[in-house]
Amino acid sequence: MHVTFLGAVREVTGSMHLITTQSDQILLDCGMFQGRRKESDKKNRKLQINPKKITNIVLSHAHIDHSGRIPMLTKKNFNGRVICSRATADACEYLLLDSAHIQESDANYLNYKAVRSHLAEMKESKRRRKLKKFSTSDIKKRMKSNNNNLNAEEINRLLKKFWLTGIQPLYSVSDAEQSLSSFSGFPYRHSTVVGKNASCRFYEAGHILGSAVSMIRVQENGRRINICYTGDIGRFNKPILKDPVQKFEEEDRDVDLMIIESTYGDRVHEPVRDMKPRLKKIINDTVERQGAIIIPAFAYGRTQELLYVIHELYREKEVPMIPVYVDSPLATKITKVFGEHPEVYDKETHEDFLEKGINPFSFDQLHFTQSVEESMALNREEKSHIVIAGSGMCEGGRVLHHLRYKIHNPKHTILIVGFMAANTLGRRIQESGLEYEASDRSGPPPILKLLNKEYPLNARVIKLDGFSAHGDKNEMLRFLKDSNLNVKRIAVVHGEEDQGLSFAEFLNSEGYSAFVPEVGEKIKV
């Protein structure tokens, strides 16, 4: 039996690994690469596997860097099942459709720009006579429909007319909808068949709702081989979700190969217990400056944790109860998914909220912003408020417009609550902002490019590690040491190269046999 490491290898996004047995090919995750547009697009379009040969996909959780390329397989004759937890299946119904919508919108916009640029060139050249029936301004108007939306049909027609190469999305909304029929959700600790001689059991990973540690059991040549795929491991003692699993079933205890993440393989987070007091201080300080708090956050997981802790602070009257806006239609839908799966909540959430008849994700000051018009009005709001908006790494979405209106003003706060991948705007805000704060804000502020314009980063930038959904190196070691697993060998993935190498060295110093694979590397198990 072999395992091939195909994605999230010496980097964070694009999670994908392939188990090959005598009779099956089982894919662990099928994630999307995220980062620089051109580089990510090139990686995402290249599938290193033949979808027809994949028996089944085992999906660790719903985040797009783990699930985002599944529709690419299902539209190319993948005939197996996507096997995951029940909550993950429910969340993917929204996340994959949202991913497809974003891709279609981005492609339409880039194609619109290509046609517009071509028209400008024609206007300045001798080819202008080819534009007989309409002026360039007429054609540009036709590329937009009601409410100034782009007219994809007209744009594509003009691409063909002028022999221009258009941008195609990785998959369409209809492709994403079709992929959902391949999903099968299962409860934790339930064993299910994933191949001719292979089965899988999910355990709580504590990362986001529905996230799972997957234990793959394969019978081959008269012996059983166990592969443990951690997916993303969460933190201990965080609100809402149960802690990462510690006790595995007897038949799952002996692990021949563990594939473990290393997002924070060389870092130690702030203690979870400090999370609420620090957020309290940030809110109070910002309100005292009469400012707003802008929080870039993933719609799935981070948004709900923030709402939970803010709700606690409001109930305890520890902070002014200013309005809280979730400016993300996707986050609104995902919050409903959270409400539908109380069976995965931890004991404290049940005792503090559910048993008292209180919804953790609903309070009087909370508003879910739906329309673009509401979002635009919120951009101009002068009174103190909190905005939680996507995308989490500031690479798109409504958060960009909130930043555009607030980034230049020192009374406002940009609160970083999660991992910012290399080459993202979020990472640039984080690094530039924290460096400026460390210098006691001396000298001119950093200049950042945002929506094709440059802005001074005068807003306060604060990083709050406590909200991270990933365990740090000590918490991941705790996951290993305090569990009842006997692990022979560990492959370290899903971390930038320096983090992965450092974490492997750390594990080796603790008595484990760990290594960091190369992209495309195949090992025998």
Query: Tokens standing for 330?
Result: 């996707």
Q: In this predicted model, what pLDDT tens digit does every residue of 503-522 receive, in sequence order?
A: 999 999 999 999 999 999 99
Residues shown for the chain? 525
* 175: region left, alpha or beta (phi > 0 left; psi from -120 to 50 alpha): alpha
Q: Residue 144 has what pLDDT?
A: 77
Name the percent of the chain lying above pLDDT 90: 78
What would the pLDDT profile of 278-298 be if each residue is shown by its tens digit?
Answer: 999 999 999 999 999 999 998
Supply φ then ψ for residue 128, to 5 degrees: -60, -30
- Chain segment 388-406, per-residue pLDDT in tens: 998 888 988 899 999 999 9
Q: Is the dihedral of CA 188, 194, 200, 202 positive or negative?
A: negative
Please report the pLDDT score of residue 112 as a whole number: 87
The average pLDDT across 86-112 equals 92
Instruction: Give me the pLDDT at residue 147, please.
Output: 62
- Tens-digit pLDDT profile for residues 168-225: 999 999 999 999 999 999 999 999 999 999 999 999 999 999 999 999 999 998 899 9
Provide the token pair at 368: 């879910």
Instruction: Judge if 2-97+173-267+469-524 and 272-467 fold alike in CATH terms.
Output: no
User: What angle, 0 to 180 degrees and rounded to 10, lies between the N-to-C axes of helices 302-315 and 275-288?
Assistant: 70
Give CA torsion, residues 234, 236, 239, 242, to 10 deg. 80
Least confident range from 24-33, 106-115, 213-222, 411-420: namely 106-115
| Assessment of whether the complete model's pTM goes beyond 0.95 | no
Residue type, 19: I
Tell me the CATH number for domain 272-467.
Answer: 3.40.50.10890
Q: What is the reported pLDDT for 140?
A: 67
Strand 82-85 relative to strand 2-7: parallel, antiparallel, unpaired? Answer: unpaired
- Is the separation of the CB atoms in 205 and 193 below 8 Å? no
- Fold entry, domain 2-97+173-267+469-524: Metallo-beta-lactamase; Chain A (3.60.15)
- Residue 411: name the closest of 243, 241, 289, 288 by CA: 289
What would the mean pLDDT of 253-260 be, rounded to a whole number? 98
Q: What residue spans define the domains of the chain? A: 2-97+173-267+469-524, 98-161, 272-467
Whole-number average pLDDT of the chain: 93
Specify the pLDDT at position 135: 61
Pairing, β 82-85 against β 56-58: parallel
Average pLDDT over residues 452-456: 93
Encoding tokens for residue 95? 């996340």
User: Is the link from the previous residue into 384 a cis peptide, with omega within 30 of 0?
Assistant: no
**Confidence grade of residue 440 (pLDDT, cut at 50, 70, 90):** very high
Q: Is the dihedral of CA 202, 207, 208, 209 positive or negative?
A: positive
